[in-house]
């Protein structure tokens, strides 16, 4: 990855920020995006302090034009695009019966359409360089999680899109990675939307027991270098995918029971 130009959407915190450090430490030139200018500038300064070549660009992935401008910025600043990591995402937590549908749409706009927009404006450059498109999906893209209607739906849609993209580019040299972290310590649960669209504020799970964002970033870096097709992380995540494929009825009960143990779970 030395001297490769890597775009990371949502790169100011969590897994995105950890990946900026991981790829940057290996010699990549990193462009990160975010909606908060203060956090964006702060993260870029921190990266540069570690001798990482970094550039920040204010963008909202759910806005198509922002993605076009993001791709143009990468070309203007670095002259090329080798890797696009579609990391920006948001979660939600509410039963489908109770959720305002605008919340589901907001999640889809960021988690699914944001990936489509970013990929659309980067793919020709990535194809020219025989680079990589990485989608940060989730175990929730293989196994629907109760209380996560919009999140699971967006990740299922993302997995389908990445599968299509991978197949269409089977003979072009473009690498497509579907990366599915299990529960990872990050701020995604704190920013998770409730049934009315307000932020949840506190994580309902014990973040200390989860895989760190830094460890997750190392796995994603290695999978990108090795041009892997799929990356499923954590033992719990691998078991969920396995049981859902081979013992789906059992998986329904298992997932229900696990999710019901969360603090203030919408299911009991």
What does the pLDDT read at residue 55?
A: 98
Q: Which residues are catalytic?
A: 151
What does the pLDDT read at residue 262?
A: 86
What does the pLDDT read at residue 183?
A: 76
What does the pLDDT read at residue 205?
A: 55
What does the pLDDT read at residue 64?
A: 98
What does the pLDDT read at residue 204?
A: 59
Where do the domains of the chain lie?
Answer: 5-237
What does the pLDDT read at residue 201?
A: 61
What CATH code is assigned to 5-237? 3.40.50.720
What does the pLDDT read at residue 199?
A: 85
SS (H, E, C) the chain: CCCCEEEECCCCCHHHHHHHHHHHHCCCEEEEEECCHHHHHHHHHHHHHCCCCEEEEECCCCCHHHHHHHHHHHHHHHCCCCEEEECCCCCECECCCCCCHHHHHHHHHHHHHHHHHHHHHHHHHHHHCCCEEEEECCHHHCCCCCCEHHHHHHHHHHHHHHHHHHHHCCCCCCEEEEEECCCECCCCCCCCECCCCCECCCCCCCHHHCECHHHHHHHHHHHHHCCCCEEECCHHHHHHHHHHHHCHHHHHHHHHHHHHCCCCCCCC
Positions of the chain with pLDDT lower than 50, given as ranges:
none
């Amino acid at each position: 990855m030395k001297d490769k130009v890597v775009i990371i959407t949502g790169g100011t915190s969590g897994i995105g920020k950890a990946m900026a450090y991981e790829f940057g430490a290996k010699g990549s030139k990193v462009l990160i995006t975010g909606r908060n200018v203060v956090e964006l500038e702060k993260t870029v300064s921190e990266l540069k302090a570690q001798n990482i070549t970094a550039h920040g660009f204010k963008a909202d992935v759910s806005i198509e034009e922002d993605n076009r401008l993001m791709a143009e910025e990468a070309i203007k600043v670095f002259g090329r695009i080798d890797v696009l990591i579609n990391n920006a995402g948001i979660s939600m937590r509410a039963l489908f019966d109770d959720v305002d549908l605008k919340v589901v749409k907001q999640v889809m706009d960021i988690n699914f359409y944001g990936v489509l927009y970013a990929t659309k404006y980067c793919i020709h450059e990535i194809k020219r360089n025989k680079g990589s498109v990485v989608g940060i999906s989730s175990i929730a893209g293989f196994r629907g999680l109760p209380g996560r209607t919009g999140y699971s739906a967006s990740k299922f849609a993302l997995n389908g899109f990445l599968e299509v993209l991978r197949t269409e580019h089977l003979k072009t040299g473009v690498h497509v990675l579907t990366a599915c972290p299990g529960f990872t310590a990050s701020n995604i649960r704190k920013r998770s939307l409730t049934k009315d669209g307000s932020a949840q504020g506190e994580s309902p799970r014990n973040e200390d027991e989860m895989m760190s964002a830094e460890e997750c970033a190392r796995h994603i870096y290695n999978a990108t270098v090795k041009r892997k097709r799929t990356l499923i992380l954590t033992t719990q995540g691998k078991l969920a995918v396995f049981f859902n494929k081979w013992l789906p009825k059992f998986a329904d009960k298992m997932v229900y029971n696990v999710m019901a143990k969360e603090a203030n779970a919408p299911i009991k």
